[in-house]
């Protein structure tokens, strides 16, 4: 029995009883439409996925969890953009991973014209921790569950605290 394609409205003979679309082209178009709707409904998740994929394509390590990324952008989320006045995420010295500690916001124009030298630890203006904090953190013997507990105490992401404890971050602090 002929059906009406849910996308283009053409009549078609469904191969299976539950087919609602007439052709592969209509299936692809429907998938695109679904993806666009999802993006519109989840703008932050979509933008996060997009930036993460772009970093992967460029072979740059991506360390932001979605929550860290949302927090990093904060109220500037809607000012993001790759036009001259739009805000972009740049890496100190244009090297290393995309991470809370290694990134700063600047305008697209600044990003192309200014080279900001690589800063470490507390010299980075977005860092929440000081060298003294890190020394304090590292001075105590480690106990299971430290990462989460210390992250809450110092107001940083658990993933950040775990990297500090594993000496993968702030490794210059003795």
What does the binding site for Zn ion look like in residue numbers (CB under 5 A)? 5, 7-8, 22, 26
Helix axis angle, 131-139 relative to 158-165, nearest 10°? 70
Least distance to Zn ion, CB of residue 41, Å: 24
Q: How far apart are CA 165 and CA 143, in angstroms?
A: 11
- Between 20 and 52, CB nearer to Zn ion: 20
Least distance to Zn ion, CB of residue 21, Å: 5
Least distance to Zn ion, CB of residue 54, Å: 33
136 is written with which tokens? 């304090």
Least distance to Zn ion, CB of residue 13, Å: 12
Q: Write the CA distances from 146 to 67, 75, 143, 155, 160, integer angstroms.
A: 20, 30, 6, 13, 12
Query: What count of Cα atoms within 13 Å lies in the side-chain half-sphere of residue 133?
Result: 15
- Between 14 and 121, CB nearer to Zn ion: 14
- Between 3 and 52, CB nearer to Zn ion: 3
- Between 7 and 119, CB nearer to Zn ion: 7
Least distance to Zn ion, CB of residue 25, Å: 7
- Between 36 and 149, CB nearer to Zn ion: 36
Q: How far apart are CA 49 and CA 135, in angstroms?
A: 35
Q: Tokens 């000496």 label which residue?
A: 167
Of 72, 71, 68, whose CA–CA distance to 90 is shortest?
72
> Longest C-alpha distance within the chain, in Å?
76
């Amino acid at each position: 029995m002929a059906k009406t394609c849910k996308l283009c409205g053409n009549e078609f003979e469904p191969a299976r009883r539950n087919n609602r679309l007439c052709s592969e082209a209509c299936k692809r178009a429907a998938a695109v439409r679904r993806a666009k709707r999802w993006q519109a409904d989840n703008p932050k998740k979509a933008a996060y996925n997009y930036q993460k994929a772009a970093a992967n394509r460029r072979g740059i390590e991506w360390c932001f969890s979605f929550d860290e990324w949302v927090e990093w952008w904060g109220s500037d989320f809607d000012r993001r953009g790759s036009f001259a006045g739009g805000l972009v995420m740049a890496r100190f010295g244009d090297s290393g991973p995309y991470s809370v500690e290694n990134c700063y916001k600047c305008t697209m124009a600044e990003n192309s014209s200014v080279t900001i030298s690589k800063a470490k630890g507390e010299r980075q203006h977005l860092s929440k921790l000081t060298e003294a904090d890190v020394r304090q953190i590292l001075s105590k013997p480690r106990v299971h569950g430290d990462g989460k507990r210390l992250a809450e105490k110092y107001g940083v992401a658990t993933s950040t605290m775990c990297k500090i404890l594993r000496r993968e971050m702030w490794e210059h602090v003795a």
